[in-house]
Structure 1
Amino acid sequence: MALLGKLTLDLDPLRSSREFRYIFTARVVSLFGLGFLIVAVPLQVYEITASTAHVAAVSTVLGLTTFGATFAGGILADRYDRRRVIALARGCAGVAFAVLAVNAFLPDPRLWVVYLAAIIDGICGGISATVLMSVTPTLLPRNKMAAAGALMALTGDLGAMIGPALGGVVIASGGVGLAFALAAVTTAVTTFCITRLPPLPPPRAADESPLRAVAGGFRYAAGQRVIGGVLVCGFVTMLLAGWTVLIPEYAADVLGVGASVTGLLYAAPAVGAVLGSLTSGWTGTVRWSGRAVFVGMLLSAAGLVGAGATAAVAVTVIGLAAHGFGEAVADILRYAIVQKHTAEEYGARIAGVWSAQVTAGASVGAVVAAVVAALVPIESALAVYGGTGLVATVLLFVVLKRLRGFDEHAGSVADAAHAQVVMSGEKGFHDGSDRP
């Protein structure tokens, strides 16, 4: 029973915080709708252009605008009521989804409308994600950050699992316009849920300019080697998010499947991620959390290699699910390290840096995926793309010594240097007794 308790998802944040329950519910509703977009946008762009490069370009535009908006989110979170900021951002995103629906129902849908909607969604998503992340530590004790991270990851994973699967069915029966319309409706429901929260003012009045605040966040991350290492790992992890760019062409030309099965392919990583979240109880007690981050990253990359190993749909689904499982484990652990060990006065700014590295990684990943698709046959693209993630993870494991040797029992990131010295000196890095 004790082992089962360590493995099962910790639901205490939902039981102990009414405000966290509101946020959790709002995310679930929103992400179900956003899951439709994961399938609808690339399918519509590929249908209009028959070009993987355009699919990658739309993803890159979305990522770059989100990247810039994350810094604005950190600044706004330090200056304004966070409830209002999140509600306004999600409301504007819902309008953009409604415009996408109208455009899709036109006899000749316009590609520029898709790009414009990607810009608006990127701005709104970057702001709301950063502000939301800065709110969570104010609602719960710090020893519940791993549990909160698992629950927040679970909301995204469920939305990414069920949303694309349903989205494929919706698109097959009613077209991408219906999927966009449903995304707009769910976003409106989310916005209403957010407005029901009590006011969420910033913890203190901002006393420096926006540019200095952004620079201060980066300086703090750079000065804290463990936190900085976690952010770098997140960037490389998100490089692997570019696999979504390859799916429309891979599904059509290699697997020979239609919209319904394509939706399942987009949902497969979320199935693995949900399993990772539901069995994440151990992440709150793991000692060598830095090493566990690297293990999750390796599994995530290896899953993509396996997904592209054959032209069998079942193998591709299993590989993508393994990718999602590894990514979820790594993300939960990284989230916990950052939230537990970041000084409160830097919380919003580090949330901005966190969101920025995620979105920048996704944008670069889309470009890298497009380059891979241009250089190698599409039937090999997934495996080659996953291989780049394996190489990058091994390099980071070698370079990021402080994160690799981080000991949660040391109590803070300031003690990580001491932990590294102990491990490499008195105990020895390869001593089996030091492994989790």
Structure 2
Amino acid sequence: MTSNDTPPQDRSRLRRLAAQLSVDLSPWHGSRDFRLLWTSGAITFFGSFLTLVAVPLQLKQLTGSSLAVGLIGAVELVPLIVCGLWGGALADALDRRRLVLYSEAAQGVCAAVLLLNALLPHPAVWPLYLVAGLASAFGSLQRPSLDALTPQLVAHDQLTAAASLNSLRWNVGAIAGPALAGVIATTAGVSSAYAIDLATFVLSVLLIRRLRPVPPSPSAARPSVGAIVDGLRYARSRPELLGTYAVDLAAMLFAMPTAVFPFLADRLHADWSLGLMYAAFAVGSLLVTLTSSWASRVHRHGRMVVWAAMGWGLAVAGAGLSANVWVVLLCLVAAGGSDMVSGLFRSTMWNGTIPDEFRGRLAGVELLSYSVGPQLGQVRAGGTASAVGVRASVWVGGAACVVAVGALALSLPALMRYDARTNPHALAQRARREREAAPAPQPSATV
């Protein structure tokens, strides 16, 4: 039977299915500023992955010490925590476009410092640590403003689609970026990687300059410790939001196994699979993103966050229990897909219910929840592996994730009850966006 012989009803059903299993591009088509911001981020991500690979490689070349390379993470952690919270307060008090623009330019200066150091006859080690700390600080100051911008650039009913497109950008970069970065840094040298990173920041700054100004709310609080505390109090008053933070933190703390991937590949007698293990999460995320149109029709976001987090834990446990490397890789892909589902609905809940005057500060809290968790999870995985073995560390962590998320779901009924169609915070934000989008009344004509 040819396609022309297919009954019209079946063709119609196939078209609907194809539309449901695709990427929703409505935010891209509907908002010029979203296109500019998305493109800017795509360019910057590529350059940042170059530096992400080049800095450890250069440290290894200069010191030959694995400890020296590992200290980069420690240098980045404190600025991430402090500047993430402060960046949230700034995002609520100042023009978010300017904050993104200035912090992007500052990160470009960091890339320039790395390039100048790499071009010296004898590059120094200390600038690598200094720039790592400064880049972490500027990135953490910027991230709350970036997260808070999206709800102001797209329609309220396009928030899930916008989150999916942002994830698509990150996942493509996470798969292609490190691979290209490794080739460039090892063949053309780390100085070439830094030069390309600098060029991407220049292009990104030029794009961000074209965004319209995004002034703060007239009732915005001045940036201060008190403003940060007010944001934390608001978060505490929203048990469904606290639930999303707690679920993500538990999932990453108990079931983030990347620290033991080199040892897991060795136990499986498949050293060739190490790179595939690191890429597997991003592959799973990308598969979900490319078929994410269905997500815009889901309203019980809290339940999806919980079920997806438990799916992450089950998939990680499966990776630890299996002795077949291909099954392990398949489980890791499934884990990445589950994490993507959880991330989509967490983002939709945050962007769809948090008032604009608190959006930056709550974005700072979000930054901590999804950044600190993986860092602590690496410590957990490594410590457990030294005590009970590598594969046991992986499956025990996955099982602990399922138990912890299940316990959180029972203790936070507001998260499981959340429905975007009836939640008062979601309805208030939808009404607010509709008022802002309504055309201004025309003055009556005088006689």
TM-score by length of 1: 0.83
Count of paired positions: 412
**Could you tell which deviates more after superposition, 196-205 or 98-107?**
98-107
Residue of structure 2 aligned with 1:139, choices 138, 147, 153: 153
Distance verdict in 2 for CA 1:191–1:64, change over 3 Å: same
- How far 1:370 sits from its partner (Å)? 3.6
| Alignment CA distance shift 1:382-1:42 (3 Å) | farther
Is the partner of 2:421 in helix, strand or coil?
helix
**Inter-partner Cα distance in structure 1 for 2:54 and 2:393:** 22
Residues in 2 aligned to 1:112 and 1:303: alpha-carbon distance in whole angstroms = 40
Q: 2:200 aligns with which of 165, 186, 190?
A: 186
- Answering whether residue 394 of structure 2 is matched by residue 390 of structure 1, we say no
Cα offset, 1:9, TM superposition: 1.9
Partner of residue 259, structure 2: 245
1:62 to 2:54 alignment:
no
Q: Aligned AA for 1:120?
A: L
Which position in structure 2 is the counterpart of 1:82? 96
Q: Return 5+ residue gaps in structure 2 as ranges.
A: 1-14, 428-447
- Does 2:377 match 1:402? no
Matches within 5 A, 1:14-413: 14-41=28-55, 48=63, 51=66, 57-101=71-115, 112-204=126-218, 206-208=220-222, 210-239=224-253, 242-247=256-261, 257=271, 262-309=274-321, 314-378=326-390, 381-413=393-425
- The Cα shift of 1:139 comes to 1.4
Q: Is the 8 A contact 2:21 2:291 kept in 1?
A: yes
Instruction: State the Cα distance separating 1:264 from its structure 2 match.
Output: 4.2
Q: How far has the Cα of 1:38 moved from its partner?
A: 4.5
Percent same amino acid at aligned positions? 32
Matched AA of 1:183: D
Matches of 1:239 and 1:100 in 2, distance apart? 32
CA contact (8 A) 1:166 1:263 kept: no
Looking at structure 2, the residues matched to 239 and 46 of structure 1 have their Cα atoms a distance apart, in angstroms, of 28
* Post-superposition CA distance 1:314-373 (Å, at most 9, x none): 444333322221111100100101111112322222222212222222332233234234
TM (norm. structure 2) is 0.81
1:67 is paired with a residue whose SS is: helix
Partners of 2:410 and 2:254 in 1: CA distance? 20
1:266-288 Cα distance to aligned partner (Å, 9 max, x none): 33211111111122222222132
What CA distance in whole angstroms lies between the structure 2 residues aligned with 1:151 and 1:353? Answer: 22
Q: In structure 1, what is the Cα distance between the partners aligned to 2:317 and 2:60?
A: 24
Q: State the Cα distance separating 1:167 from its structure 2 match.
A: 2.4
Distance 1:375 1:108 in 2: 42
Cα deviations by residue, 1:226-251 (Å, 9 ceiling, x for unpaired):
12211222323443785443345655
Q: Output the amino acid matched with 1:389.
A: C
Query: For residue 430 of structure 1, what is the aligned residue in structure 2?
Result: none
Structure 2 residue matching 1:410: 3-state secondary structure: coil
What is the RMSD of the two structures over their aligned residues, measured on CA atoms? 3.1
Q: For residues 93-134 of structure 1, give each alpha carbon's deviation from its aligned partner in whole angstroms, at most 9, with x where no partner exists.
A: 233334445556778766544432221121111111110111
- Is 2:105–2:205's contact at 8 Å kept on the other side of the alignment? yes
Change (3 A) 1:405 1:22: same
**Cα distance in structure 2, aligned partners of 1:242 and 1:111:** 30
Is the deviation greater in 13-22 or in 241-250?
A: 241-250
**How far apart, in 2, do the equivalents of 1:316 and 1:110 lie?**
41
Matched with 1:427 is none
Task: Check 1:307–1:163 CA distance in 2 against 1; reply closer, same or farther (3 A cut).
Answer: farther
CA distance in 1, matches of 2:52, 2:164: 22
Please, which moves more after superposition, 231-240 or 24-33?
Answer: 231-240
Taking the aligned partners of 1:105 and 1:303, their CA distance within structure 2 comes to 45
Q: Who is 1:420 aligned against? A: none
Range that drifts further, 406-415 or 292-301: 406-415
User: CA separation of 1:135/1:84 partners in 2, compared to 1, >3 Å: closer, same or farther?
Assistant: same
